[in-house]
Amino acid sequence: MPSEATAPVVQICRNCGGGAAVDVHFCPQCTKILALGRRGDYFSFLGLPRKLQIETATLERNFRALSRQFHPDYFYNASPAERRASLERSSYLNDAYRTLKEPIARVEYLLELEGMGTAGPAESSRQVPPGLLEKVFALNEELDEIREARASGSAVDELKKRLERAREPIEAIRVAHEEQLQELSAQWDASLGSHASEAQRREVLTALRERMLERNYINNLLAGIEREMNA
């Protein structure tokens, strides 16, 4: 008799030896909680599509439902293996929730899943993104002049005003990048529900990665201005 399951079996129940799909939390055969061995990703774990624009209400609802199912209090009298499994799944659930509830962390995580991670802020600081060259050059010149003025005893209020003026164009770029990230996120989601080719999806991911690298660089610039203001 053919199995009714449509998803491939990728994890084995340690209690009864039955098989389950990667995004199943309890064994379909014996109903015991499954050990957190092979796993899918944060999206599938929380029962969500791999999209960047997700409904907060749905995320919260799924998180609360799974939190109740995995809570260690429900496994107080269970076997050691089940108690360990509940703790593992609860911990993984919390990590998934923290990541997916933040839009920027969600983008970074998607890029990692798709093999296009940005390697964090360190990569962003190695080279000035081409689109920011002119702004960065002007900012560095202004910061050098401000440091010289500070060393010569210029008034603090005047230096802070200059730093605020230097910050404004960088902040404007940051706001524009946030808007671009939202637009690209919408494009990614639309590509999943359309007949977009793998090459087209990869193009969106590449653009997302570039915007994220630029975003990290911009944040580094703003942090540098903040340090000068606190000097």
Tens-binned pLDDT, residue by residue, of the chain (231 aa) = 344 444 456 888 888 988 888 889 999 999 999 998 766 799 999 999 999 999 999 999 999 999 999 998 989 999 999 999 999 999 999 999 999 999 999 999 999 999 998 765 555 555 677 778 888 888 888 888 888 888 888 888 888 999 999 999 999 999 998 999 999 999 999 999 878 899 999 999 999 999 998 888 898 889 989 988 887
Q: How far apart are CA 106 and CA 102, in angstroms?
A: 6
Q: How far apart are CA 7 and CA 215, in angstroms?
A: 38
Q: How far is the CA of 130 from the CAs of 43, 210, 217, 218, 231, in angstroms?
A: 33, 11, 12, 12, 29
- φ/ψ of 178, rounded to 5, equals -60, -40
pTM higher than 0.85 for the full model? no
Residues 6+ apart with CB under 8 A from 110: 50, 52, 188, 205, 208
Sign of CA dihedral 36, 42, 46, 49: negative
